[in-house]
Structure 1
Amino acid sequence: MNLTNAKIQNYNKQVGLKFQLYNSLFTALPFHRVEKTGVLLSTFLLHCEEGYNKQQSPVEIIDTFFQQYTSYQNEQEQIDLLFRFVQYAERQVVLFDAVEDAAFGDIYDLNGIGTLKHLQSEVLHSNKRAQLAEKLKDFSVRLVLTAHPTQFYPSEVLGIINDLSNAIIRDNTAEVNSFLQQLGKTPFFKKEKPTPYDEAVNLIWFLQNRFYPAAGRIMSNFKNQFQEEVNEENPLIRLGFWPGGDRDGNPYVKVNTTLKVAAELRTGILNAYYIDVHQLKSRLTFKGVSNVVASLEEKIHQNLSDPNHHADLTKEEIISTLKQIRTTLMEQHNGLFQEMVENLLRKVELFGLYFATLDIRQDSSVHSELMAEIAQHSSALPDNYTELSEAEKIDALLNIQETLDPSIFENELFRDTLETISAIKTIQKRNGENGCHRYIISHSTSALDVMHVYGLFKLGGWKTDELKVDIVPLFESIEDLRNAAKVMKTLYENEAYRKHLSKRNNIQTIMVGFSDGTKDGGYLMANFSIYKAKEALTQISKEYGIQVVFFDGRGGPPARGGGRTHQFYASLGSNIANKEIQLTIQGQTISSNFGTVDSAQFNMEQLMHAGISNALFYSDKLTQTKEEDDLLLSLSEKSYEAYNALKNHPGFLEYLNEVSPLRYYGQANIGSRPSKRKPGKLNLDDLRAVPYVGSWSQLKQNLPGYYGVGIALEKLEAEGKWEEVRQLYQSSLFFKTLMDNCEMAMCKSFFPLTAFLAEHPKYGALWTLIHEEFQRTKTQMLKLAGTTHLMEDKPINRLSIQMRQRIELPLLTIQQYALNKIREVREGGSDSESANMNVYEKMVVRCSFGIINAGRNSA
């Protein structure tokens, strides 16, 4: 038996068979007046599969199902059954998640390739301990949790998944049965949108229960392996946090939210420390340490019970106390339980009293409008500020001599923007500088956008030589990425900004975003533009003696820059700075990659290994040669041309709005942010990337993850360059990773679902255009990889996707059925259909939950 077959058999045993067992138990549970809903759902699934094989539409499939398998003639009875199907199917997804989580340690080699155990053997084998010590002086992996709504589980359901997984690990069928019953009765739908504070609290649960223990375990193991090389002054793992600080397009994030979330983060880490110290207290009952532990526990308790005690406790005091305890254990008690103290010490070194750095983010346009307002209503800026050139505006900002009182503004957004500047200082005082030290500017297009924020800090009362904040431009559109190096050159040559950077250790963090880049330029062009921008920014930063750190705005699915992210970092050579690895972790990626302590540890280690091994073993290797770059540029330009033609098709947005659930994203109440940046008529610029990509995903067309790739490959083949492309695929891990993630996007597509649109008078031409490109890309991809199936070299991921697709097929069918009914009503349907319009809209939204959650293995 070969290794691939063994892996598949193991996956089928650990996941497939267990899911079948528990699913049969689940579908037999009677949650409704009508018995055997679960049994009928199984029949409906088979009917769907047969129907699509016969090229039937979702409407035909559902109509024939009611005729053949039920006695329901009444429309209301039929609707009720479909809603029951939705309720069962979305909970089957939860069950599958729990089974897969429980099997993680059996499916993946937790000490294999890409782990720190593997790194240890590589370092020792190649005698690179000195190089490792040098790298660890300033290297870190920063995972920034965002509340981007790509997951639909309420916190109650996340708790059930956790308990269900543990029961499955223990093979406790009675407990599993109880949790399944709880699952059946727990609502998935939220009547109200969560507030940014709600989002923060939900994610702090992950910080405490997943990242905290996993990071502690990683650092304890790593310190044991490389005691001299690990630098205690440099946290190798850093966590970032956006809920409560990310204002970009979210009118519900206010300064009081920011302060409240920062306080919650501090409380969250103190709670975690308190639990660990309490466990220490129950073990360290010896002379000379018991009283010290008890005193530390009491001090942490005081800080938790009385917020006014926040000045009484510092990170340094906790570390000093733990080191004192460790010394006493070593000298007087033979090091008994010393590993418990070491584990807590590593965590305090990582997380201090802030847990995760709360980033502030706002759109550049808000700052521009605010500065124009300031010029009109104060003497801080000249009256004619808006008429000045960019260079003159920057001079005016540098010459600000006064502090502004935010209350002078009636506009709440302007007032909040200035108040936030003061709030950063408050958070730093309470949580430490790492509690909040980054201000990210969305849609950065010029040096002025950065200097606007620099000016805001002056207006907010910060002295320039005491400004302990990193100003981080975010370049995202194709044009902005192309101009990024020029923008940074202007900033590096500005004396005042250069002085600010010197106070920040001559380190400049630059964020590059994938989501809007993909929406703007298509899959290949977005990824290539980011790669070239990083290359140019690395070069210009070196020229000016600045250490650049890249912060990647990656998302869950490949179309949002996700997929196998550690492969991207492993592919980067010496032409792109890799001092740190920083990326956003959002939505379903949080639960899929970090949903258990084992998976969190595994995926953090993969990223750490990618960054460290690159520096140790591939520091002289370029990501790609000039010839490879030129070839990828040619592919990207051809892909961009094809994607642009589609994007500018007059019916493109209407197609997406009418045949996908795009217009209903806001009704799902899964995130606090609106689905559009600005109210009014739908346009691509204002449409957020999450609903854009998510709608294509629910349509099972996944267009942003591959469109244009097939055309580009086909054109290069016609130019006689196929062998060069094949060589690129084999020699460039960067290009191979791009293609792997493209395969994943296609593997999750299912065009039979919408094949009925091919004959639609309005949408038929667009559907055919998209389907043809899917088939073209698939053909070219299989030829390039030399395989017969998509994702053939990743059998476990492929199998997981296939199993999830079977679970979601009834949901997809019901959603398209409901969307079709809605279109019929809009086109002048019957009175009974009009009466059920709201019901069908609710059906679309309810189906979205299970469909999106089923795609959690997108990264």
Structure 2
Amino acid sequence: MIHDQRAEKFRQIVENKFQIYNSLFMSLPYDKMTNIGMLLPFLYEESKNGYQTGKTPQDIMEAFFTNHTDLQTEEQKLELLFKIIQYIERQVVLFDSIEDAAFPELHSESDKGTVTYLFERSLQDHTIEQVREKLKDFAIKIVFTAHPTQFYPSSVQRILHDLRTSITADSITDIDMLLQQLGKTPFVNKEKPTPIDEALSIIYYLRYVYYDSIGELFTKVKKTFGNSHFHLHEDLIQLGFWPGGDRDGNPFVTAEVTKRVAEELRSAVLKSYYSHIKNLRRRLSFRGVAEILKQISDDLYASIFNSRKITAEEMISKINEAKKILIEQHNSLFIDLLENFSDRVKIFGTHFATLDVRQDSRIHQQVIDEVFKATFGHSEASNDDKFKALIQTSEKINTDGFEDIIKDTLVTVSQIKDIQQENGHRGMHRYIISNSDAVKDVMNVYAFFKISGYHDEEINIDIVPLFETMEGLDNAESVMQELYQNPIYQKHLERRGNQQTIMLGFSDGTKDGGYLKANWEIYKAKEVLTQLSEQNGIKVVFFDGRGGPPARGGGKTHDFYASQGKTIANNKIELTIQGQTITSIFGNKQQAKFNFEQLLTAGIENDVFKNYKKDLTEKERVLIKELADISYKKYSDLKSHPMFVPYLQEMSTLEYYGKTNIGSRPSKRGGGSELKFEDLRAIPFVGSWSQLKQNVPGFFGFGFAMEELKKQGRFEEVKALYRGSDFFKTLVLNSMMSMNKSYFPLTYYIKNHPKFGEFWNVLFAEYNLSKDIMLELTGFTMLQEEDPLSRKSVKIREKIVLPLLTIQQYALIKIQKGEGAREAYEKLVTRSLFGNINASRNSA
């Protein structure tokens, strides 16, 4: 019933509004774009009908040119196609803004997963004290990454922000003006953004979205569960930050960039405090209090412009002074406003978000090799002996004379203590190692601190291994066991409060092992590492490297975390978000607050509310393992198909990702010209499948595995698993979401292709098989039947971008056939790629 009401409301306040404002959009006087709004519906109809009757994208485009335009030359046609792309990009922004503005009306304060829902349920279950107990040492952390899955220029971001506000107010005049501005504002970065640009782009969200949304959510939790004997700790909701600190595969992130981004984060939070206190002073104008607030304001101003450094502790001390006067002399008037400001300072400190350092273990090994050779005059030692020897050296190494990457790695380590001094310990306290699969990968980093002149007790940093491949996940237990037994590392962990963060990579795991296998291996790795850590007296925190779509570990995040049973440590929920996930899930105050809330309650529910569906029985485990192994074999066979990489290289947009100028990082690891599977980054990999509307990493092998059991007459076992296990059910529903965003008719033309026809048919057969068997499993009549809002949103977005996909495929076919101006068609692919990335929120 609620589903039906919400679906109807969505139709009224999203679909209908889009129709109205889109018609306004169609008549706007853009340069040379006047008639695009009239032509676009024809291209949509030609595409829709054409694909249903088996036409190729080239047939469809040629029919469109012939039937609806009088264009003769290739140059004229190309010009029109670029204009259509620009127009569709702006339609996407309009739809995003309408959908975002509707968010508060489509969600209620007491929805499942909200703090209010948690409170009401804990009242009924008499578990309020357990919730408070859990809140004492629980936390959630969202880590923003600069992974290139979307990059609106900041000018477009600001229009988006204003457009949402105007749509909420139904101000036609303002909307009209903003749509005109949108039509004349460039969407494409002329050059690749620098890591600083990426950092500033996300700092915009910190200042104008998260400062308030996290502060307000903290107050809500405090008011709901707090009482005279329960103090809510201010580290409950944390922010992490990778742009400017993540140098994995990004040669443009240097020690200098890291330092500059740390300064920008500090400056941004001080500016937020300065604005906040300005409003506070309008109310707290009382004698004694006003003077203290003015002093804080002046100190902040001086600190923003670097003439002095203010610390969070100084601010808290002065606020407490003001609070005392307010209570004793002014009847505690407006004390809640002062406490709110005090909470913000405790939450965000002088760091705003924790800047992490990340680098690949192979680069670290190069550094160790070079430094060992320079120190001892030879390289005749095992990798383990090298870090052991360097940890014993008491001399600080002279970095002059080393090549850039070696020198920069060591300078980065040296300056960590300076950043901690400026931004506080929370400003930078983690070093993450990509591609960890051995003890040396962690100990090499410890050695960096020693050779940079740190004494053991000065290494105020958590060293975080990232296990992301199937091999890495397999080795995780033995690596951590050996580390926990290592006397040097044991002492380091003692100094760090016997807490170890372990990062697990969903994106690369899925790319490597397929959807079901990757999720199962990560689940098992978490169980094993939980048990191992407990045995060693270590509190383990899992940090999940997740992307937006299911193929990169995303999907329904609340359901995912709420489905993890008591065998997995639940000390903290920590995950990465990027690109469209920032704008679509955490893009404005209401959405951000709602989604932070969903994560927070998922972790608490997991511990407090008992549910047999969260804990897997031995029988269920055996079955999931069997399904995972069958699906892994199927996916591995696909990966080893001789056409796998050539298909992506020649038939998809993979080669064009690096040209979109949406990220500062190269789109593949390794510098060679030959493309190898292992060098593919997860984002362009998953994104290219998404652009083809095939979403292979999100389902391939899953349906096949279930079909194999069905052939053995065991489908009832799978149905019982779906009904009995929240974990398995979440995987199925997320996989169905991937399939719902697929559209194979777009590439029907490939089925008869001399080189790739057979490979395409393998993909199509698996899609059909997976779709049919998942519908049978769930009892649904359509994909995403259980989530009408998401299904409707996907449907409208797919409709908007269908002409864009036709143009993209048309350009790819022209390039493959060697017809026409190759450079122009390549540019067309890149531009349409950019539009599609932004359009299909969570595509990569």
TM surpasses 0.5: yes
Q: Name the stretch that deviates more: 343-352 or 805-814.
A: 343-352
| Other-structure match for 1:737 | 730
| Other-structure match for 2:117 | 118
**Within the alignment, does 1:30 sit opposite 2:29 as a pair?**
yes
| Other-structure match for 1:523 | 515
Measured in 2, the distance between the counterparts of 1:405 and 1:117 equals 57
Q: Secondary structure at the match of 2:574?
A: strand
Q: Secondary structure at the match of 2:250?
A: coil
Q: Name the stretch that deviates more: 231-240 or 40-49.
A: 231-240
| Other-structure match for 2:156 | 157
| Other-structure match for 1:820 | 813
1:500-556 superposed Cα distances (whole Å, 9 cap, x missing partner): 000011000000001111111111111111001101100111111111100000011
**Within the alignment, does 1:559 sit opposite 2:556 as a pair?**
no
| Other-structure match for 2:289 | 289
| Other-structure match for 1:238 | 238
Measured in 1, the distance between the counterparts of 2:325 and 2:602 equals 38
Code of the residue aligned with 1:623 in structure 2: it is D
Q: Secondary structure at the match of 1:856?
A: coil
**Within the alignment, does 1:138 sit opposite 2:133 as a pair?**
no
| Other-structure match for 2:445 | 453
Q: Is the 8 A contact 1:241 1:357 kept in 2?
A: yes
1:726-755 superposed Cα distances (whole Å, 9 cap, x missing partner): 111111111111111101100000001000
Shift of 1:423: 1.4
Alignment partner of 1:365 out of 344, 353, 362 = 362
**Within the alignment, does 1:84 sit opposite 2:83 as a pair?**
yes
Q: Is the 8 A contact 1:792 1:798 kept in 2?
A: yes
Q: Secondary structure at the match of 1:606?
A: helix
Segments of 5+ residues of structure 2 without an aligned counterpart are none
Summarize the alignment of residues 541-560 of structure 1 with structure 2, pairs less than 5 Å apart. 541-560=533-552
**Within the alignment, does 1:577 sit opposite 2:569 as a pair?**
yes
Shift of 1:50: 1.3
Measured in 2, the distance between the counterparts of 1:572 and 1:230 equals 27
Measured in 2, the distance between the counterparts of 1:642 and 1:452 equals 37
Code of the residue aligned with 1:703 in structure 2: it is V
Q: Is the 8 A contact 2:234 2:343 kept in 1?
A: no
Measured in 2, the distance between the counterparts of 1:807 and 1:400 equals 62
| Other-structure match for 1:838 | 823
Q: Is the 8 A contact 1:549 1:578 kept in 2?
A: yes
Alignment partner of 1:484 out of 441, 457, 476 = 476
Shift of 1:372: 1.0
Alignment partner of 1:675 out of 653, 667, 672 = 667
Instruction: Quickly say closer, same or farther: Cα 1:318–1:620, change in 2 above 3 A.
Output: farther
| CA RMSD after TM alignment | 1.5
Code of the residue aligned with 1:455 in structure 2: it is A
Summarize the alignment of residues 106-505 of structure 1 with structure 2, pairs less than 5 Å apart. 106-228=105-227, 231-305=231-305, 307-310=306-309, 313-379=310-376, 383-385=378-380, 387-388=381-382, 390=384, 392-409=385-402, 411-505=403-497
Measured in 1, the distance between the counterparts of 2:842 and 2:467 equals 27
Code of the residue aligned with 2:320 in structure 1: it is K
Q: Is the 8 A contact 1:398 1:496 kept in 2?
A: no
Instruction: Quickly say closer, same or farther: Cα 1:430–1:7, change in 2 above 3 A.
Output: same
1:562-597 superposed Cα distances (whole Å, 9 cap, x missing partner): 111121110111100010000001111000111110
Measured in 1, the distance between the counterparts of 2:627 and 2:535 equals 30
Instruction: Quickly say closer, same or farther: Cα 1:615–1:397, change in 2 above 3 A.
Output: farther
Instruction: Quickly say closer, same or farther: Cα 1:225–1:110, change in 2 above 3 A.
Output: closer
| Other-structure match for 1:688 | 681
Q: Secondary structure at the match of 1:548?
A: strand
Instruction: Quickly say closer, same or farther: Cα 1:384–1:850, change in 2 above 3 A.
Output: closer
| Other-structure match for 2:710 | 717
Measured in 1, the distance between the counterparts of 2:390 and 2:711 equals 54
Code of the residue aligned with 1:341 in structure 2: it is L
Code of the residue aligned with 2:413 in structure 1: it is I
Q: Is the 8 A contact 1:143 1:585 kept in 2?
A: yes
| Other-structure match for 2:781 | 788
- Could you tell me the TM-score, scaled by structure 1's length? 0.96
Code of the residue aligned with 2:797 in structure 1: it is R
Measured in 2, the distance between the counterparts of 1:771 and 1:30 equals 43
Q: Secondary structure at the match of 1:563?
A: coil
| Other-structure match for 1:513 | 505
Code of the residue aligned with 2:406 in structure 1: it is F
Code of the residue aligned with 1:625 in structure 2: it is T
Shift of 1:388: 2.2
Q: Secondary structure at the match of 2:502?
A: strand
Segments of 5+ residues of structure 1 without an aligned counterpart are none
Shift of 1:557: 0.9
Shift of 1:333: 2.6
Q: Secondary structure at the match of 2:84?
A: helix
Summarize the alignment of residues 603-752 of structure 1 with structure 2, pairs less than 5 Å apart. 603-618=595-610, 623-680=615-672, 681-752=674-745
Share of identical aligned residues, percent?
A: 48
Shift of 1:630: 1.1
Q: Secondary structure at the match of 1:136?
A: helix
Q: Is the 8 A contact 2:358 2:432 kept in 1?
A: yes
Code of the residue aligned with 2:784 in structure 1: it is M
Measured in 1, the distance between the counterparts of 2:287 and 2:397 equals 57
Code of the residue aligned with 1:32 in structure 2: it is D
Measured in 2, the distance between the counterparts of 1:402 and 1:34 equals 67
Measured in 2, the distance between the counterparts of 1:578 and 1:117 equals 21
Shift of 1:111: 2.7
Alignment partner of 1:807 out of 789, 800, 809 = 800
| Other-structure match for 2:69 | 70
Measured in 2, the distance between the counterparts of 1:365 and 1:739 equals 36
| Other-structure match for 1:766 | 759
Code of the residue aligned with 1:684 in structure 2: it is F
1:162-188 superposed Cα distances (whole Å, 9 cap, x missing partner): 100100011100100111011111111
Q: Secondary structure at the match of 2:754?
A: coil
| Other-structure match for 1:855 | 840
Measured in 1, the distance between the counterparts of 2:230 and 2:78 equals 61
Q: Is the 8 A contact 1:220 1:342 kept in 2?
A: no
Measured in 2, the distance between the counterparts of 1:36 and 1:728 equals 55
Number of residue equivalences: 842
Q: Is the 8 A contact 1:138 1:234 kept in 2?
A: no
Measured in 2, the distance between the counterparts of 1:438 and 1:376 equals 27
Code of the residue aligned with 1:854 in structure 2: it is A
Measured in 2, the distance between the counterparts of 1:259 and 1:389 equals 31
Q: Secondary structure at the match of 1:505?
A: coil
Q: Is the 8 A contact 1:136 1:231 kept in 2?
A: no
Q: Is the 8 A contact 2:563 2:614 kept in 1?
A: no
Shift of 1:687: 1.1
Shift of 1:397: 3.9
Shift of 1:253: 0.3
Shift of 1:48: 1.2
Alignment partner of 1:532 out of 512, 524, 536 = 524
Instruction: Quickly say closer, same or farther: Cα 1:105–1:793, change in 2 above 3 A.
Output: same
Q: Name the stretch that deviates more: 141-150 or 848-857.
A: 848-857
Q: Is the 8 A contact 2:36 2:83 kept in 1?
A: yes
Measured in 2, the distance between the counterparts of 1:405 and 1:148 equals 34
Measured in 1, the distance between the counterparts of 2:803 and 2:326 equals 60
Q: Secondary structure at the match of 2:308?
A: helix
Q: Is the 8 A contact 1:137 1:234 kept in 2?
A: no
Instruction: Quickly say closer, same or farther: Cα 1:620–1:61, change in 2 above 3 A.
Output: closer
Measured in 1, the distance between the counterparts of 2:761 and 2:160 equals 40
Measured in 2, the distance between the counterparts of 1:490 and 1:735 equals 32
Q: Secondary structure at the match of 1:456?
A: helix
